Amino acid sequence: MPTNKKNHKKTNTLSLPDNTVSALTYSLTLLSGLIIFLLEKDNKTIRFHALQAIILGVLWMVLPKLFLFTLILAPLAILLNLVFLVIWIILIVKTYKGENFDLPIISNWVRKQLK
């Protein structure tokens, strides 16, 4: 669900520009995505980013913890957390600029769920 840089109209529940609300979905990871997903019923772009934030937030909470079960893989948990942090920052910045950043597998799954 790409957003157009020139198209920052207010057609959402929060009466803010779409790019701002979409970026806010990533601000508090899982929580903000869930709140905005439940509030916004009509705007497909915002719902896309909110659901993507929810999925990414769940993955961020679960995947690094799986590596902590073994001593050998525990350092990978730190690396994985850094990767998630970088992805999260990229998503916030790109979304605020009105650009689209597709995450492999996740973005396609979210699009299918919102059809």
Which band of pLDDT confidence, cut at 50, 70 and 90, is reported for residue 10? Answer: low
Asked whether the beta carbons of 114 and 47 are under 8 A apart, the reply is: yes
Q: List, for residues 65-99, the tens digit of each pLDDT value.
A: 888 888 888 899 999 999 999 999 999 999 999 99
Percentages helix, strand, coil for the chain, rounded to the nearest 5? 65, 0, 35
Which band of pLDDT confidence, cut at 50, 70 and 90, is reported for residue 62? Answer: very high
Question: Can you give the length of the chain in residues?
Answer: 115
pLDDT for residue 9: 61
Q: How distant is the alpha carbon of residue 18 from its chain centre?
A: 14
| pTM metric for this prediction | 0.83
pLDDT for residue 1: 52
